[in-house]
Structure 1
Amino acid sequence: MTETPDDRHVGPILHLRGHDAEGLRLAAIVIRPEGAPCGTLRAGDATHDPRAIARLEGLTVWRFDFTLRTRDRGYVFEGESYPVETDLAGDLRLAFLSCNGEEIGDMDRDPAERDAMWDRMRAEHETRPFAVLIQGGDQIYADEVTQGHPLSDDWPDDVPSTASRADLDDLARHLRAGFVRRYMRSLASPGIGGIMARVPTLAVWDDHDICDGWGSLPEAATDSAVGRTLFAVAREMYLLFQHGAVEADIPEIFADPSGAQLGWQRILPGLTLTTPDLRSERRRRRVMGEAGWALLEAPSPEPAQTFVVSSVPLLGPRLSLVEAVMWLWPGMQKYEDDLRDQWQSRAHRADWRRALRAMLRLRARGPVTVLSGEIHLATRAEMAADPGPVHQLVASGIAHRAPPGAYARGLGWLGSLGEGPLGGHPIRILPPPGLRRRYVAERNFLVLERDAGAWAAVWHLEETGPTAPLPL
């Protein structure tokens, strides 16, 4: 991609740190070329100076930490006003998205085509503002960053068994440059940066934020020196660009203060947002370690409504059937890692049941909705429970182009077979409201709205437009 001046000027980008009696606690990052000035930020009666938290690739990442009281209604940066929804106690709108890119050639796409749904989301925000932007994984597609370096050019199929410290440091520099280019290109987009300057974001990562299939690849690759270097750089960039954070900030932001698991929880009035990290501790036969389970299985502090973000769908079709027969067809083996990524994989059956039991315990305390992405389609599901179902809403592919219709129809057939890993709690895959097919092959994002205490969800589909509201 040919670099333009805007690709080196990003921000402000808002990150939601928390909400309490003092108001909305935020961090805002601003990225400028090294040596370029960064102005002050005014929130209410206070003026804040920036603090440099990172310098890399000729850029300085500046951060402001501040609180907006309900009456503040926004902030001012370098003379420009940015309205922010600060009253979260009444009616509320949230946006959810995932899969912001593509595996191959994403940097060369026409920005008008690539970011069309972001522009639509920003228009929706300007009509009726969002209070929080939830990003459900694959915020960048970093698959190509391993190319162009001798240690990682053939990743993950051919990984050097030995490498010197100097060569690994050189690899880290190469990878870091690739990650920075992708993050800066994304955040410099007027549609993306425009909404993230006004709507605080919360983000969880998925495999493409590291590399395709991270954690489901052969462990000889992920445990190698090259694999550990790739993960370390991806993690550093995820903290910096998706949370406006560095290592020292982890105890404040994430549920596990050690940082081994980057799941988080935010408590808002009448709402709990809980998000386990399904990548940091993942192995080919494990979705999470005990730090992740501790977060997922904890009671909801605010049981009026709980949204649980699972970066891969928790309620899904019988993909284990595909795993059982995939070895019968030549060429199907290349999809093994994709299937191993899913909760429904035969390798994760015990973990899947454990996660579903956790949802049932949460549902006994209050309404529970799972938000998921990853599959580049729109769909929904329900798991039978008492006193009402556990909902799952999948919105996937805000920038990733939709897969072929045959793929959606195939998943729809699998979904018609039903699934019930827990006795008495069958799972049904259902179409979004007003549509016939269980899986919709269109780019999309999701709007979650609380109106007079009642929650509903609307999918915004690229061709079909907004769906009818789904009561939760």
Structure 2
Amino acid sequence: MTASPPFTGPILILDDLRDGDMHLSALILGGPDGTPPPLLVGGARIPCTVLSRFAEVTVWRARFTLGPDLGSDYAWNGQTYSVACDLTGDLRFAYVSCNGEEHGDLSRDPEERNVMWRRLGADHDASPFTLLLHGGDQIYADEVTDGHPLTRDWPLKVPEVEDAAALSDLRGHLRDAFAHRYVALYAQPAFAKLAARVPSLMQWDDHDICDGWGSLPEEATASAVGQTLFAAAREATLIFQHGCVDGDLPPRFDDPSGEHLGWAVEASDLRLVAPDLRSGRSLTTVMAPAGWTAFEAQAEAAPSGHTFVLSSVPLLGPRLSLVERVMGWLPGIQKYEDDLRDQWQSRAHRDAWVRVLHLVSRMARSAEARVTALSGEIHLATRAEMALAGGKTLHQLVASGITHRAPPMMWARILGALAALGEDPVPHAPIRILPLPGQRRRYTAERNALVLTRDAGAWSASWMLERTGQTPPLPLD
């Protein structure tokens, strides 16, 4: 996947699904000089145009369409890529999250870091994935604040800055640091192999901005420095995760202005819904009003078929409010305080949690409708169930840690003990945290990825675990 001068890519991003076709963006990443060759699609040459420029990185984009009647192949730089673009019959999706670690991620041994990406690539070779769903923390940007005087102590110390020139200099530093990190990760062969062949859909989480964004004190996030960091992270997310810039969001986004970054796509008996749980997040808020309005509209639409709701933090979980109350007394877990505040189950978000569960329940109200929630964030694998009306079940599938190493086993056991206590935020609909198929414990402390399969119209899920291997399939209908 190289040209002269060298380029990274293509990285396929799904812009939208319309009339059974995939509308795609292909990103090509390179230096400030040179122009990548065009894509070849169905005999047509699709030029790469500049999407954005950074100090050492230029991002080009080519937009094109593939589908059952249009062809499933494209070529670039002398190589042909096949895309499993038919969504009408049997298909497979992969779901991943937490592609990195907080410190030193770019200096890790690629062989160790990317073992699960290589396994997903081998699985794709055996039976192609149609979509690659990313559930948050596509990058760990915690170190982008290093190297600049205004952010070297972020977020412990936040300087008061009114100098526009100083903030502009910070913005430039952060833009280039985000771009460097995305390029470094997207260029890794195990990821690049899949990214050129399987279109991605992404939902951001805190590490795509900084550790704990939204659960940090307001004086940090609302400061001029904090808002400069958020603006740089959001710009990088649009470019590298969604293949777009402001004023150019693809049709799957609910709000063309980008006030929130929630999106949804529909295909044959299938809907994917990804609310934005970061743009409006604070210590007391999970979603901004515009995000709630968009999610409520999705709940009212409620088409038949299977809806997958992407919730970057688990929608169903144990009684974490108990841990919040005693956190100061439990040695070794204080570093997870921001993570606990981030959860729907936090005491601060209880009302919002009940609200979203009622909305998800409404998505399954028609006779043929089914709903499954997909989540990451906790660096463990688990699943949960909540009873819905009509004898249906809301399944929660958590796959977290495609490259992030698992936390200590003690943390998994603490969560498992909390899960044994039960939780019922919605009356008469208790939540049950359950082991993965073939596992004994409720939480599996291994790096992992999730595979979703539709076979003869029936959906199932299996987890790919680093040490244990593939779990037996879990029926979702």
Bin for the TM-score computed over the shorter chain: over 0.9
Equivalent position SS for 1:337: helix
Equivalent position SS for 1:143: coil
* Paired position in structure 1 for 2:419: 415
Matches within 5 A, 1:292-331: 292-297=291-296, 298=298, 299-300=300-301, 302-328=303-329
Equivalent position SS for 2:169: helix
* Paired position in structure 2 for 1:458: 462
2:32 partner amino acid: E
Range moving further from structure 2, 145-154 or 135-144: 145-154
Equivalent position SS for 2:461: strand
| Post-superposition offset of 1:301 | 5.3
Range moving further from structure 2, 326-335 or 450-459: 326-335
Equivalent position SS for 1:145: coil
Equivalent position SS for 1:133: strand
Equivalent position SS for 1:12: strand
* Paired position in structure 1 for 2:389: 386
* Gap regions ≥5 residues in structure 2: none
* Paired position in structure 1 for 2:194: 195
Matches within 5 A, 1:46-125: 46-71=44-69, 72-125=71-124
Contact 1:33–1:58 (8 Å) recurs in 2: yes
Mapped to 2, the partners of 1:400 and 1:248 lie a distance apart of 34
1:43-86 CA-to-partner distances (Å, cap 9, x unmatched) read 12322111111111222211111111314121111221000012
* Paired position in structure 1 for 2:13: 15
* Paired position in structure 2 for 1:406: 410
1:56 partner amino acid: F
1:382 partner amino acid: E
Mapped to 2, the partners of 1:73 and 1:240 lie a distance apart of 25
Equivalent position SS for 2:406: coil
1:425 partner amino acid: A
Mapped to 2, the partners of 1:329 and 1:369 lie a distance apart of 34
1:18 partner amino acid: D
Contact 1:271–1:304 (8 Å) recurs in 2: yes
* Paired position in structure 2 for 1:180: 179
Equivalent position SS for 1:252: coil
1:325-368 CA-to-partner distances (Å, cap 9, x unmatched) read 22445776554322110100000000000011011111213110
Mapped to 1, the partners of 2:6 and 2:290 lie a distance apart of 37
Mapped to 1, the partners of 2:305 and 2:425 lie a distance apart of 27
* Paired position in structure 2 for 1:35: 33
* Paired position in structure 2 for 1:257: 256
What is the aligned counterpart of 1:444 among 427, 448, 451? 448
* Paired position in structure 2 for 1:377: 380
Equivalent position SS for 2:247: helix
Mapped to 2, the partners of 1:437 and 1:8 lie a distance apart of 47
Flag the 1:22–1:293 CA change in 2: closer, same or farther, 3 A. Answer: same
What is the aligned counterpart of 2:370 among 367, 372, 380? 367
* Paired position in structure 2 for 1:130: 129
| Post-superposition offset of 1:245 | 0.8
Flag the 1:6–1:461 CA change in 2: closer, same or farther, 3 A. Answer: farther
Contact 1:7–1:184 (8 Å) recurs in 2: no
| Post-superposition offset of 1:6 | 11
Mapped to 2, the partners of 1:59 and 1:151 lie a distance apart of 23
Mapped to 1, the partners of 2:353 and 2:415 lie a distance apart of 19
Equivalent position SS for 2:432: strand
Equivalent position SS for 2:249: helix
2:389 partner amino acid: D
| Post-superposition offset of 1:149 | 1.1
Mapped to 2, the partners of 1:173 and 1:288 lie a distance apart of 28
1:59 partner amino acid: V
Mapped to 1, the partners of 2:315 and 2:12 lie a distance apart of 28
1:430 partner amino acid: L
Mapped to 1, the partners of 2:4 and 2:253 lie a distance apart of 31
What is the aligned counterpart of 1:468 among 455, 463, 472? 472
2:44 partner amino acid: A
Mapped to 2, the partners of 1:42 and 1:301 lie a distance apart of 38
Mapped to 2, the partners of 1:162 and 1:172 lie a distance apart of 13
Contact 1:300–1:306 (8 Å) recurs in 2: no
1:63-115 CA-to-partner distances (Å, cap 9, x unmatched) read 11111131412111122100001211000100000000000110110011111
Equivalent position SS for 2:30: strand
Structure 1 vs Structure 2: percent identity of aligned residues?
56
Mapped to 2, the partners of 1:156 and 1:175 lie a distance apart of 15
Mapped to 1, the partners of 2:202 and 2:247 lie a distance apart of 18
* Gap regions ≥5 residues in structure 1: none
Flag the 1:331–1:160 CA change in 2: closer, same or farther, 3 A. Answer: farther
Superposition TM-score, scaled by structure 2 size: 0.95
| Post-superposition offset of 1:276 | 0.4
Range moving further from structure 2, 258-267 or 221-230: 258-267
RMSD: 1.7
Equivalent position SS for 2:10: strand
Flag the 1:52–1:353 CA change in 2: closer, same or farther, 3 A. Answer: same
Mapped to 2, the partners of 1:215 and 1:6 lie a distance apart of 42
Contact 2:435–2:442 (8 Å) recurs in 1: yes
Mapped to 2, the partners of 1:171 and 1:252 lie a distance apart of 32
| Post-superposition offset of 1:129 | 0.1
* Paired position in structure 1 for 2:210: 211
Mapped to 2, the partners of 1:157 and 1:139 lie a distance apart of 24
Flag the 1:77–1:207 CA change in 2: closer, same or farther, 3 A. Answer: same
| Post-superposition offset of 1:288 | 0.4
Range moving further from structure 2, 66-75 or 137-146: 66-75
Contact 1:7–1:188 (8 Å) recurs in 2: no
Mapped to 2, the partners of 1:376 and 1:300 lie a distance apart of 33
1:415 partner amino acid: A
Flag the 1:333–1:379 CA change in 2: closer, same or farther, 3 A. Answer: closer
* Paired position in structure 2 for 1:345: 346
Mapped to 2, the partners of 1:8 and 1:35 lie a distance apart of 10
Contact 1:134–1:202 (8 Å) recurs in 2: yes
Contact 1:272–1:303 (8 Å) recurs in 2: no
* Paired position in structure 2 for 1:271: 270
Mapped to 2, the partners of 1:462 and 1:393 lie a distance apart of 17
Range moving further from structure 2, 214-223 or 35-44: 35-44
Range moving further from structure 2, 288-297 or 376-385: 288-297
Contact 1:270–1:304 (8 Å) recurs in 2: yes
| Post-superposition offset of 1:9 | 2.5
Mapped to 1, the partners of 2:76 and 2:409 lie a distance apart of 45
